[in-house]
Amino acid sequence: MSRIAFMPSRVLTPAGFESDRCVVVGEGRIAGVLPASECPPDVPARKLAGDLLPGFIDLQVNGGAGVLFNDRPAMEGIAAIAAAHRRFGTTGFLPTIISDDLEVVAAAIGAVDTAIARGMPGVLGIHIEGPFLNPAKKGIHDASKFRILDEEAIALLSSLRHGRTVVTLAPELAPAGAIRALVDRGVIVCAGHTAASYQEIQVGIAEGLSGFTHLFNAMSPLGSREPGAVGAALDGCGTWCGLIVDGHHVHPASLRIALAAIGAERLALVTDAMPTVGWDRNEFQLGGVKIAACDGYCMAPDGTLAGSNVNMAQAVRNACRMMRVDDATAIRMATAVPASAIGLSDEVGSIAPGLRADFVLVGPDMDVIESWIRGEPTRPGR
């Protein structure tokens, strides 16, 4: 593609919000971020009424537009989910498969591999959440699908050829050396749906475990004499944590405690979105169970939370309000932090020379006006 210069009201760079800036894009990448007065005269300029941000990156997307990835682990399913979330500024995401038979997991990995190989916009890899989880913290997952992490499973989980793989597992149930085997093959391992003790989490971290999936939810809580998985996450050790900021999964006070304990630079906003995002219906089926979406969350008839009904733009707004952070901090939790968590900071997550031209243009209330992936635009609704 030919070069173009964007001149937004403000642009969010690693230095913060800046005005009077010119963002030059060429060949799908950012060629420069310059003072507006230094914008190359031979490059067509387009003024943008709004703030230009890095595109949002969501590491946990179960579905959208009426599609659950488990039910449609194919390129068409991924494309529908991607389109639903792009309306809300998500330009990079991990389609997420929850606990299922290994044949379904294999189909999901194959679909993501093909999608990336064929250049499907926005797909950064896959998140495999289960089935190597603890039944005591199963949440909405089907415990009948759970299994032990053996050599066959390790080979499958590390078989993606393109993009990043995130695996959520219960470290206390992983055989010795299994986490290390995954990490050595390039898999990013996170603790989730876990009843692990603080010490068991430390063993996992020593093997290479680097993250926590939806912090506070479906994991052993912080206690006075047993810090549990939550305590291990808040204690640091360089790990990162995903947070569902929908106002229901985690109390705002707990969100602020996590922020105070480990800092915004290690907290990644995730949606844990279900098929109702970007869809005109408020219920869907999950393993034969009717799930209802209401006020940002999804719930089974027995009261079990079943993912969320929020998009990333809403998650950023919620973080500003519930965590009492400024816009720039909340946005970085939805861009730079998730990019860093999966080792893609040199590709996406910031507006800086050399990175991919993945942007979102927003209005005063984080309303998405337009987005770009590799410099190619899409307006909401398309």
Summarize pLDDT for 8-28 with one digit per residue, the tens.
Answer: 999 999 999 999 999 999 999
Beta strand ranges found along 194-236 (DSSP E): 211-212
Asked whether the whole model's pTM tops 0.85, one would answer yes
When pLDDT is averaged across residues 90-113 and rounded to a whole number, the result is 98
The residue type of 382 is R
pLDDT band at 296 (very low <50, low <70, confident <90, very high): confident
Q: Output the six-digit token pair for 244.
A: 């569902």
CA 229/CA 172 separation, integer angstroms: 10
Confidence (pLDDT) at 379: 63
Confidence (pLDDT) at 380: 57
Summarize pLDDT for 115-129 with one digit per residue, the tens.
Answer: 999 999 999 999 999
The set of residues, in sequence order, having a beta carbon less than 8 Å from that of 66 and lying 6+ positions away, is 80, 275, 276, 279, 281, 284
CA 370/CA 361 separation, integer angstroms: 5
Write down the catalytic residue from 150, 272, 295, 358: 272
Confidence (pLDDT) at 378: 84
Confidence (pLDDT) at 1: 56
240: left (phi over 0), alpha (psi -120 to 50) or beta: beta
Summarize pLDDT for 319-331 with one digit per residue, the tens.
Answer: 999 999 999 999 9
280 in Cβ contact with 234 (< 8 Å):
no
Q: Where in the chain is the domain with CATH 2.30.40.10?
A: 4-53+352-378
Query: What average pLDDT does the structure give for the chain?
Result: 96
Summarize pLDDT for 173-228 with one digit per residue, the tens.
Answer: 999 999 999 999 999 999 999 999 999 999 999 999 999 999 999 999 999 999 99
Instruction: Return the residue matching tokens 């006075």.
Output: 224
Share above pLDDT 90 across residues of the chain, in percent, rounded to a whole number: 96
pLDDT band at 2 (very low <50, low <70, confident <90, very high): confident
With 60 as the cut, is the pLDDT of residue 38 above it? yes
CA dihedral 12, 245, 200, 132 (to 10 degrees): -100
With 90 as the cut, is the pLDDT of residue 237 above it? no
DSSP conformational letter for 295: T
Q: Where in the chain is the domain with CATH 3.20.20.140?
A: 56-341
DSSP conformational letter for 147: -
Q: Output the six-digit token pair for 311.
A: 């998009």
Share above pLDDT 70 across residues of the chain, in percent, rounded to a whole number: 99
Q: Which residues of 241-267 are buried (b: 16+ CB within 10 A; e: fewer)?
A: bbbbbbbbbbeeebbebbbebbebebb
Q: Is 240 exposed, middle or buried (0-12, 13-18, 19+ CB in 10 A)?
A: buried
Second-level CATH architecture of 56-341? Alpha-Beta Barrel (3.20)
Summarize pLDDT for 247-268 with one digit per residue, the tens.
Answer: 999 999 999 999 999 999 999 9
CA 143/CA 146 separation, integer angstroms: 5
User: What are the binding residues for substrate?
Assistant: 140, 217-218, 225, 249, 305-307
Q: Is the dihedral of CA 367, 57, 334, 126 positive or negative?
A: positive
Please provide the DSSP assignment of 68-108 as one string: ETTT--SHHHHHHHHHHHHTTTEEEEEEEEES--HHHHHHH
Beta strands 305-308 and 21-26 are unpaired
With 70 as the cut, is the pLDDT of residue 310 above it? yes
With 70 as the cut, is the pLDDT of residue 339 above it? yes
- Confirm whether 246 is a catalytic residue: no
With 70 as the cut, is the pLDDT of residue 300 above it? yes
pLDDT band at 236 (very low <50, low <70, confident <90, very high): confident
Q: Output the six-digit token pair for 132.
A: 């190597």
User: Does the bond joining 131 to the residue before it have cis omega, within 30 degrees of 0?
Assistant: yes
CB atoms within 10 A of CB 350: 21
User: What are the binding residues?
Assistant: 129, 140, 193, 214, 217-218, 225, 249, 305-307
Second-level CATH architecture of 4-53+352-378? Roll (2.30)
Name the percent of the chain in helix, strand, coil, to the closest 5. Answer: 30, 30, 40
Helix extents (H) in 221-377: 228-235, 252-262, 312-322, 327-333, 336-341
